[in-house]
Structure 1
Amino acid sequence: MFNKEILLKELTFKAVRSSGSGGQHVNKVASKTELLFNLKDSKALSEDQKNLLLLKLQNRLTKEGLLILQCDETRSQHKNKGLVIKRFFDIIRGSLTVQKRRISTKTPKSVIRKRLKNKRIKSEKKANRRKPNID
């Protein structure tokens, strides 16, 4: 499908200060990790794969074709980097899989018969609730 090693070399990482409360230490340490991936300049993906990713990830990409992912789940920069890489590969793998076309099948005759039988029973039940017609 795609070469993970080549794709991993094309990733750019940036460490940023994590937001939120924390204390004295959080203001000094950049534990939040940002992953930047330039989809248009990628050498690891074929043109067909790039077009498919551009189509499926159009809401996540910037105007320049950059995919930006962030992770600040843990206090460790290295763990955040591992998590964001895993999330990146999950997104790429999920976007490159093409769903099989569903082949529509004909409704079985037994299902049609069962539906009509239930319909007739319900109709008779409601007809029996009416007042009798005395003429």
Structure 2
Amino acid sequence: MPEFRWQPRPDELEFDAIRASGPGGQNVNKVSNAVHLRFDIRASSLPEAVKARLLARADQRITADGIVVIKAQDSRSLERNRADAVARLVELVQAAAHVPKARRATKPTYGSRQRRLEGKARRGGVKAGRRSPIE
């Protein structure tokens, strides 16, 4: 199965420049370099199956209205933070697009059952040898 490749359309993304938290002194107090990325899952161009899996995810970045909110503030550059936010969104969608393989229950083979029973018998013999003889 081919890997799902997806890039968001620019009109689907909404960016807000905000002030970052944490250390940085005067720079962090006066420059809005952090980014809030908002992406509406329901109004996006994603396939319906991927939308359903994204909305079903237990992720704190996805609101009850189906909007993904990602905050990026690692860099001092607004553009790098925007790129980081988009990369994290793409990663989230790629993870939701992956369909886990269905597990089919199998029975243990005859040989594995035999080895298990032999091991149990050997262990029982070791313990029996530790007992004191009956008089």
Q: TM-score range by the shorter chain?
A: 0.7 to 0.9
Q: How does 1:1-135 map to 2 (within 5 A)?
A: 1=4, 3-6=6-9, 8-42=10-44, 44-57=45-58, 59-134=60-135
- Work out whether residues 13 and 38 of structure 2, in 8 Å CA contact, stay in contact via their aligned partners in 1: yes
Amino acid of the structure 2 residue aligned with 1:36:
R
Q: Distance in 2 between matches of 1:17 and 1:90?
A: 24
Q: CA deviation at 1:109?
A: 1.2
Q: Distance in 1 between matches of 2:15 and 2:24?
A: 23
Q: CA deviation at 1:47?
A: 3.0
Q: Distance in 2 between matches of 1:118 and 1:37?
A: 57
My pick for the range that moved more, 44-53 or 87-96, is 44-53
Q: Distance in 2 between matches of 1:131 and 1:36?
A: 74
Question: Any idea what the Cα deviations from partners look like across 1:45-87, whole Å, max 9, x if unmatched?
Answer: 2333322221125643212221100111111111111111111
Q: Which runs of 5+ in 2 are unaligned?
A: none
My pick for the range that moved more, 101-110 or 83-92, is 101-110
Secondary structure, aligned partner of 1:120: helix
Scaled by the length of structure 1, the TM-score of the pair is: 0.87
Amino acid of the structure 2 residue aligned with 1:113:
Q
Q: CA RMSD in A?
A: 1.8
- Work out whether residues 13 and 34 of structure 1, in 8 Å CA contact, stay in contact via their aligned partners in 2: yes
Secondary structure, aligned partner of 2:38: strand
When residues 2 and 122 of structure 1 are mapped into structure 2, their CA distance, relative to the original with a 3 A threshold, is closer
Amino acid of the structure 1 residue aligned with 2:76:
R
Q: CA deviation at 1:125?
A: 0.9
Amino acid of the structure 2 residue aligned with 1:32:
A
